[in-house]
A and B are shown apart, each in its own frame.
Chain A
């Protein structure tokens, strides 16, 4: 029997667990030692419609920030900053709760087509 590896998930708090790691290398008991590391997992590709910020209309009330289920509205210094498109799933709640219609929802297909068209023009 190979000697038991005392270090697995133990002496060293293995942080980044990769799919190719063997049983001695991954963390003990399924513990996760990096709080909030789900933000390295992207859910942006779930989206079929995309929120787009209309800067001119925005009054920075942050109702959209309050109601985003995915913490995907980034507020900086108490003001709307940007969308976190890596995680936004395109549920459309933010656009609905916005009292001044400063968020528009566009189909991702449409956005892609527009981008494509723009590239073709250039």
Chain B
């Protein structure tokens, strides 16, 4: 990885985009890479469209400005698909979308020809594995698959450690989340 890889998350307040951006960053940091994870803070409360960002690099990251040209875009809520999602993304950008639609359908909605599009039904996966609709964790599995940035096994190990730290007293939550990531990793479709 020569340059800094930049990621933008699109979600609605309450869907856990900030948490996901920070957890993703933590897991990647565990592998010795340098990361940043930060949300855009506004007055928005639950339900409003929000953004969160990651920077990933093999070297220390100096830059602190907002991410404007992300190579990777993650969309937690398919109702957000639109021009804001494609804004600033290079032609070879990667889109990871939580939806029941196919990548081709998403491509039509986004009106793009280049790039790669991945879709996964993270809502259903989280409902099956965690018992609630929290699409943020499964999307990390899709991220790992789509970007091939980090080896799957190592990521899962780090994730397990992270989750164990956070939910010491709730082993079922850890289990569910790991399962969700695993299923998304397997079920994500790309084109």
Q: Do chains A and B touch in the complex (CB under 8 A)?
A: no
Chain A residues packing against B (C-beta within 8 Å): none
Chain B residues packing against A (C-beta within 8 Å): none
